[in-house]
Each structure stands twice: as C-alpha cells, then as structure tokens.
Amino acid sequence: MINYDDFQKLEIKIGTILEAEKIEGADKLLKLKIDLGYETRTLVAGIAQSYKPASLIGKQIPILTNLEPRTLRGVESQGMILACVVDEKAILLKPIKKVLNGTKIK
C-alpha cells in the first residue's frame, strides 16, 4: 500500500495520441506516439485486443510521465497510459473536454 505522500510523487499529464501501431509478434501491445505539448513520447500499451490503432489517433488520455523507461519487445516505453479493464476490455480514461497537452492532473 502507498501513502498520500507516495501518491503525490506520481506525475500524470494529458497527452494526445499522434500515432498508433501494432508491435510485430505481440498480440496485446501497441506502440503509441504521444504529444505532451512540450515533447513527444513513445509508449507501449497492452490494449491491442480492445482498440484498433487507427481508432486511437487524436484521442486525449492521461499518461503517467515520471516512470523510468522500460523496453518491451524492443521498444522503449517512456511512461504508462491510464485505463481500466471491464469484462477483459481496456477502457481508456479521458478528459470530459479537450485540454492543453501537458496539463497536469492533480
């Protein structure tokens, strides 16, 4: 269990998906290019069974941005998307209305 101070260390920002593509040889993984306003990042997300890559382009989603990079299937992931799973389907979280990329979630 983490405490309130630990939770405060998480940096979550809004980004827009610019590109999405299936990772060769990985049934569940997509490579996402995310615009955070001040930079573009590449993330790997296990949502390929729930979303077609083309359907993700232009969507704004929250990104956990202060994780150490991790390499999955040869792709360096520079953060993590936030989603929930319902009936084994990933559901992306998203702002109710469009906000500036890079906006911090508090």
Q: Which pLDDT value is given to residue 106?
A: 84
Angle made by CA atoms 87, 90, 93, in degrees to the nearest 5: 125
Domains of the chain, earliest start first: 11-105 (2.40.50.140)
pLDDT at res. 3:
92
CB 43 within 8 A of CB 81: yes
Report pTM: 0.93
Length, in residues, of the chain: 106
Mean pLDDT of successive 10-residue segments in the chain (106 residues)?
90 98 94 98 96 97 96 96 93 95 94
